[in-house]
Amino acid sequence: MLTILGFVMIAVFLVLIMTKKMSPIAALVLVPALFCVLVGQGADLGGYVLDGIGDLAPTAAMLMFAIIYFGVMIDVGLFDPIVRGILRFCKADPLRIVVGTAVLAAIVSLDGDGSTTFMITVSAMLPLYRRLGMSVVVMTGVAATANGVMNTLPWGGPTARAATALHLDAGDIFVPMVPALAVGMVCVLALAYVLGVRERRRLGSLSLDGPGKHGPGERGPGESGAAHATARPEAAGEPETALVGASAGTSAGAGTAAGSGSGGGHGHGGGGGRSRGVRARLSLRKGGAPTGGGPAAGGSAAVGGGAGDAAPESVGAEPVGAESAVLDPGRACLRPRLYWFNAALTVALLALLIAQLMPIPVLFLLGAALALTVNFREMADQKARIAAHAENVLNVSGMVFAAAVFTGVLTGTGMVDEMARSVVGAVPDALGPHMALVTGVLSIPFTYLMSNDGFYFGIVPILSEAGAAHGVSSLEIARASLVGQPLHMSSPLVPAVYVLVGMAKVEFGEHTRFTIKWAALTSLSVLAAGLLFGIL
């Protein structure tokens, strides 16, 4: 009975948040509370919740002070050169931007902390997505999947948990898995390429050849169909002015679709006329910092009465004219004279984090306090910086404590244990010699539906014992257990994912609907590569 209720509880939770019937925080609290009563343990709910909060409190503290720390670093301009460099490299081409998102997320993931990865990736890439009206959920999906592959690093968490649970060396688990994980990363880059091509077709791309010169498949401003942008090279080879043509159309009775990502990038007019391009002028000052956003002379937005073709999977796009505080070269909180101090502080913080000389929450607490004190001497300025990031802090920490209710009930009622036993018991004896394959397949849904601690300390040892009875080594089981990590990073039980969707201002349900299939496909690719290379 506990097994059935456990799976039903998870299914109800996912349905509610994916259909937007409830907010994630409300669903994380109310759904497990209801099921705790249904299993007859309502009197113990308080204890389960406090146990869950106790387990996740360090994570919540880490996220709170990490958001403040990296928020301050963004405010003072530490990441501005990265943003400008990416802007120059991407040349406002949606394809390059999406691929750049995957590469940046993978590189930053080397620090082993998902929250840090998402903060830096979103702060660097979100302005570009907003400027071009790209689908922001593409950014969150690609970043989460790339981080999931890189999360298997020995200091990232899952590998260390598997090694601890099965009493193995983390290096013995990870090093042989590198070829399979490399295939997973190639799949992420291929995914980014495909999604980038889709966004390019929907919006067009920036060309430095000058107005009227378009590459294959590109269209000029004013043409119906995908948007196109052109730029004129200025002094020092840096673009000064960009003309962005954005297809603007509304479906009859369906609302506006101008650069929203939910409307038609392909804009077939019908009945009421065709959509016409909107030309918006963006100023790119030296270093690639966009500052302007008004309509260009002669540009006009026409609202067509026909139904536009909805661009598939394009939810979450932002308006073309959205401004970016990250790229504003004139913001008062910039501290250029302290740039190298802030860079050294960040490098030292990440080095201490990787070396694990102190608990991560303590490191970020000290780092945030030091960053605020050095960069903002006045108490009023420090309060202003904290207030500026209070929304993100509250959203993320609130989500973590709400998730504590969910995990506390799952663990306290015994649902997790019963779910694990039932799944393992359902494995036919004929599959015994293939327990590595079974473990890899099970890791995909299990690491999504429960925490890494629950999976690696609760289920993996059982799978290892079952495999040992059929001659499958614990090392193979441990390696196979890493397969599900690309999907795990989008689990509603992973606190870092709320940093990602919170900073990007994407609905968690939209992110889940978009990402889950791509992340699952990446996990299956890692599994197939592991079998092909004889690793599993």
- List Cα–Cα distances, 80 to 98, 107, 287, in angstroms: 19, 17, 9
Return the closest-CA partner of residue 440 out of 455, 454, 429, 450: 455
- Range from 46-55, 136-145, 254-263, 352-361 carrying the lowest mean pLDDT: 254-263
Instruction: Specify whether the CB–CB gap between 411 and 493 falls below 8 A.
Output: no
pLDDT at residue 9 tops 70 = yes
Mean pLDDT of 169-180: 86
Cα angle for residues 423, 425, 427 (degrees, 5° grid): 80
User: What's the CA gap between 345 and 341, in Å, rounded?
Assistant: 6
pLDDT higher than threshold 70 for residue 296: no
Top pLDDT among 267 and 2 is at 2
Mind listing the pLDDT tens digit for each residue in 250-271? 333 333 333 333 333 333 333 3
H or E element in which residue 186 lies: helix 170-203
pTM greater than 0.75 (yes/no)? no
Highest mean pLDDT among 125-134, 182-191, 343-352: 182-191
The DSSP 8-state label assigned to residue 190 in this structure reads: H
User: Higher pLDDT residue, 93 or 142?
Assistant: 142
Task: Report percent pLDDT > 90 for the chain.
Answer: 23
* Per-residue pLDDT, 155: 66
For residue 461, what pLDDT is reported?
Answer: 78
Mean pLDDT to the nearest integer, 393-403: 79
Lowest-pLDDT choice from 13-17, 267-271, 416-420, 501-505? 267-271
Cα 188 from Cα 209, distance rounded (Å): 30
Which residue type is seen at 319? P
Q: Which of 305-309, 360-364, 414-418 has the lowest mean pLDDT?
A: 305-309
pLDDT surpasses 80 at 85: no
- Give the separation between CA 328 and CA 336, rounded to whole angstroms: 13
What is the arithmetic mean of pLDDT over 308-321? 37
pLDDT in tens, 207-228: 434 333 333 333 333 333 333 4
Instruction: Give the DSSP letter string of 200-229.
Output: HHHH--EETT-TT---TT---TTSSSS-EE
Q: What is the edge-to-edge ordering of all strands in the sheet holding 206-207?
A: 206-207, 228-233, 239-248, 276-285, 289-290
More confident site: 426 or 132:
132
Query: If we measure between CA atoms, which residue out of 481, 477, 416 comes closest to residue 450?
Result: 416
Q: What percent of the chain has pLDDT over 70?
A: 74
Per-residue DSSP letter, 303: -
- Name the helix (H) or strand (E) containing 420: helix 415-425
Give the residue among 175, 167, 119, 170 at the shortest CA–CA distance from 143. Answer: 119
**Paired tokens of 405:** 């209710």
Buried b (16+ CB within 10 A) or exposed e, 120-131: bbbbbbbbbbbb
Mean pLDDT of the 173-177 span: 88
Among 88-97, 184-193, 317-326, 383-392, the minimum mean pLDDT is found in: 317-326
Q: According to the model, what pLDDT value does residue 306 have?
A: 33
Give pLDDT, residue 368. Answer: 92
List Cα–Cα distances, 258 to 264, 266, 324, in angstroms. Answer: 8, 11, 19
* Residue 112 confidence (pLDDT): 67
- Decide which of 295 and 505 is more confident: 505
Q: What is the mean pLDDT of residues 294-320?
A: 34
**Confidence (pLDDT) at 190:** 95
- On whether the CB atoms of residues 490 and 516 are closer than 8 A, the answer is yes
Q: How high is the pLDDT of residue 298? A: 33
* More confident of the two residues 487 and 288: 487
Q: Is 505 left (phi over 0), alpha (psi -120 to 50) or beta?
A: left
Q: Share the mean pLDDT of the chain.
A: 74
Q: Where are the beta strands (DSSP E) in 367-486?
A: none
Give the 3-state secondary structure of residue 392.
helix
pLDDT at 138 over 80: yes
The more confidently predicted of residues 403 and 204 is 403
Alpha helices in 204-301 (DSSP H): none
Decide if pLDDT at 484 tops 70. Answer: yes
- Asked if residue 299 has pLDDT above 70, the reply is no
pLDDT at 229 exceeding the cut of 60: no
pLDDT at residue 414 is higher than 50: yes
pLDDT value of residue 419: 75
How much is the pLDDT for 486? 93
How confident is the model at residue 340, as a pLDDT? Answer: 94
